[in-house]
Amino acid sequence: MSNDSSSRIVAGLREWIAAAPPGAKLPSTRALVAQYGASPVTVQKALRTLTSQGMVESRPGVGTFVRAIRVARPNDYGWQTAALGSPQNRIPQLSTALRTVPNDVVALHSGYPDRELLPERLVRAAFTRAARRDAAVSRSPAAGLPELQAWFATELGKAAPVGVAPPALSDAVILPGSQSGLNTAFRALVGAGRPLLMESPTYWGAILAAAQSGVQVVPVPSGIRGPDPDDLARAFEHTGARALYAQPNFANPTGAQWSPVLADQVLDTVRQYGAFLIEDDWAHDFGITIDPAPIAARDDSGHVVYLRSLTKSVSPAVRIAGIIARGPARERILADAQAESMYVSGMLQAVALDVVTQPAWHTHLRSFRHQLAARRDLLIGALRDHAPTAHLEAVPQGGLNLWVRLPDTTDLVRLVRDCETAGVIIAPGNEWFPAEPTGPYLRLNYSGPNPGAFTDGARIIGQVLAQQQA
């Protein structure tokens, strides 16, 4: 086959070229014909291939030479456009909340607590200890280290009221972070093209995971007291959805806290519609004036699938989350997690377990709570004093964020840009709406670096707002 012969000559000449100095003259076509037992046409084809790849250049009447420079042409990846086609799911851009910014700005945009709020010494000590243990060189079971599964199950079980069976160790599946957990839950319990109810506004990472997994998002309006149960029932009724994603405790971004009555109403509704509540207890360690009350603790009928992450409260380098689910749902979730990432680093699991089982962890959480309260109140006060037109919908009882409504005429894009120019990074609220935003909002994180600059930050936001209203 002439095609094969040509490839063979190309391969041979590539080796020859690799060993030759730039500018070296290649053997003549006649010599190559003899050497490879190929036709002149085939040799010419091979030389054209090498020329098109930029490895040689031919000077007519003189010969063919090894090119002097490794790369001269700009690469053209245009062919990939046809190969890739349009993306199957339109994945939104990453949120402002993930941006890394310089140290000299006032950063109110982040989704993560500042390093000074983390149990840094516990984390470092746990890594040092685990470095000496089996965890550093062994493979974790697919569902996770049994001790860590037990910890997640026990924590939730302690909140179970009389008459509700606590989850078993085997109901817990360990995942490499809550983003993976959301993707796995949406794929395993809903599936591409099928409807998933979500609060609006809600966590942008969940909106991203919904796009990634191809589920069809059905937004249900939600505010500082959570969704309206009638809205929810209607959404289940009209869409045939079999799952609701929600954050019933200290919701991100609104700070909403569901009342026990609402929690029971939502539980009744998901049971009535034979549906799942995917409860994202993202802020379990971030209670300020109250402790979180997971709805999953009140359910042993398998209707609530519970997601609990340690990444934000232990360390961003310890990407560990647990999902607690019962019945076939748990099997579906485990199968998806295995197919997606096989198993989770046992080292990260061992470190997470070490940290949260130290007596000092509880001391840390108490101190963390006081610091969050002080930071929250500091930012609220600064906004009241310096940005009076920014309306705080409610004082959050936990979590990391204030959800602030701005005057209706605010140009949010310009506001964010002007604040950034003045050294204040803020996150536009639009990123938390699965569909159109219902107004101009900001999410302001009070757990970021340098709370001493909150007053300056609020002053600048207030000035930029005032300029827009002028």
For 95, the token pair is: 């949120």
| Angle value at C-alpha 51, between 41 and 16, nearest 5 degrees | 85
Nearer to its own copies, 70 or 359 (CB): 70
Which part of the chain contacts its own copies (CB under 8 A), choosing from 32-40, 216-224, 318-326, 445-453?
Answer: 318-326
How many other CB atoms are there within 10 angstroms of residue 367's CB atom? 12
Q: How far is the CB of 401 from its own copies (least distance, A)?
A: 17
The 8-class DSSP code of residue 61 comes to: T
Residues 120-139 that bind its own copies (CB under 8 A): 120, 123-125, 127-128, 130-132, 135-139
- Does 344 engage in binding with its own copies (CB under 8 A)? yes
Residues 266-305 that bind its own copies (CB under 8 A): 268, 274-276, 298, 300-302
- Does 341 engage in binding with its own copies (CB under 8 A)? yes
- Does 189 engage in binding with its own copies (CB under 8 A)? yes
- Does 211 engage in binding with its own copies (CB under 8 A)? yes
Q: How far is the CB of 328 from its own copies (least distance, A)?
A: 5
Of the candidate residues 96, 107, 148, 242, the single one contacting its own copies (CB under 8 A): 242
Indicate the SS3 state at residue 336.
helix
Nearer to its own copies, 111 or 462 (CB): 111
Of the candidate residues 31, 34, 165, 374, the single one contacting its own copies (CB under 8 A): 165
Task: Give DSSP secondary structure letters for 80-122.
Answer: HHHHH-S-SS-PPPPPGGG----TTSEE---SS--GGGS-HHH
The 8-class DSSP code of residue 245 comes to: E
Of the candidate residues 260, 381, 407, 439, the single one contacting its own copies (CB under 8 A): 260
Residues 15-54 that bind its own copies (CB under 8 A): 15, 17-18, 20, 22, 49, 53-54
Distance (Å, rounded) from C-alpha 56 to C-alpha 44? 13
Q: How far is the CB of 300 from its own copies (least distance, A)?
A: 6
Q: How far is the CB of 384 from its own copies (least distance, A)?
A: 31
- Does 257 engage in binding with its own copies (CB under 8 A)? no
- Does 229 engage in binding with its own copies (CB under 8 A)? yes
Residues 395-424 that bind its own copies (CB under 8 A): none
Cα dist. 310→139, 149, 321, 349, 405 in Å?
A: 21, 13, 6, 10, 30
- Does 98 engage in binding with its own copies (CB under 8 A)? yes
How do strand 216-223 and strand 195-200 relate by DSSP bridges?
parallel
Give me the amino acid identity at 335.
A
Distance (Å, rounded) from C-alpha 339 to C-alpha 335? 6
Which part of the chain contacts its own copies (CB under 8 A), choosing from 278-286, 346-354, 397-405, 455-463?
Answer: 346-354
Residues 137-156 that bind its own copies (CB under 8 A): 137-142
Q: Where are the alpha helices (DSSP H) in 253-358?
A: 260-272, 311-314, 328-341, 346-356
Residue with tokens 């998806």: 336
Of the candidate residues 36, 112, 224, 293, the single one contacting its own copies (CB under 8 A): 112
Of the candidate residues 37, 88, 102, 452, the single one contacting its own copies (CB under 8 A): 88
Nearer to its own copies, 118 or 380 (CB): 118
Distance (Å, rounded) from C-alpha 87 to C-alpha 166? 42
Cα dist. 264→185, 247, 282, 385 in Å?
A: 22, 15, 20, 39
Identify the H or E element spanning 376.
helix 359-386
- Does 179 engage in binding with its own copies (CB under 8 A)? yes
Nearer to its own copies, 62 or 82 (CB): 82
The contacts of residue 70 (CB under 8 Å, 6+ apart) are none
Distance (Å, rounded) from C-alpha 415 to C-alpha 421? 10
Q: How far is the CB of 434 from its own copies (least distance, A)?
A: 14
Of the candidate residues 162, 359, 409, 436, the single one contacting its own copies (CB under 8 A): 162
The site that binds its own copies (CB under 8 A) totals a number of residues, namely 119
- Does 264 engage in binding with its own copies (CB under 8 A)? yes
Of the candidate residues 37, 59, 77, 408, the single one contacting its own copies (CB under 8 A): 77
Of the candidate residues 150, 170, 340, 394, the single one contacting its own copies (CB under 8 A): 340
User: What interhelical angle do 359-386 and 454-469 show, nearest 10?
Assistant: 30
